[in-house]
Amino acid sequence: MKKLALIAVLAFATVFSAGHLSAQTALKDVPKVRDGIIFVGMAYEISEQCSDIDARLFRGLNYLQSLRRHARDLGYSEAEIDAYIDDDDEKDRLEGIARAQLAQLGVVPGQEASYCTVGRAQMDANTRVGWLLR
């Protein structure tokens, strides 16, 4: 009986610690956070390159705060979140992904009309990127 109780305790501890370890996955590997930042970057780039489209500033800031809350809810500390936000290499990586996704959607760097076309299409489709634009 003691052996069974010990096995049960060890199994519980293993499951509990596995849950704790999953919260220690790198923030860059949390899809909701990573993709959310990419969407904000795409919307920002469109708003900067197309004079007819503006970013929804307060909506964007609220969305970024929701991503921060999500990371906290997953167990990340403020220090871990801030380290991720301040990581210049990660910023460059996400910017590259955002620009590649914009190119796949039809953006041509230096051609304002292409940014406007993609931005309007995103707004019409009510994508997360479009939701961040007006």
Instruction: Kindly give, in sequence order, each residue whose CB lies less than 8 Å from that of residue 105, ignoring residues fewer than 6 positions away.
Output: 118, 121, 122
Q: Extract the tokens encoding 44.
A: 């920002």
Domain boundaries, the chain: 26-131
In tens, the pLDDT along 32-79 reads 999 999 999 999 999 999 999 999 999 999 999 999 999 999 999 999
59-69 in b/e form (b: 16+ CB < 10 A) is ebeebeeebbe
What is the pTM assigned to this prediction?
0.80
Predicted local distance difference test score (pLDDT) of residue 53: 98
Cα(101)–Cα(111) distance, rounded to whole angstroms? Answer: 16
| 127 closest CA partner among 24, 40, 17, 66 | 40
Give the end-to-end CA distance of the chain in Å, rounded to a whole number: 66
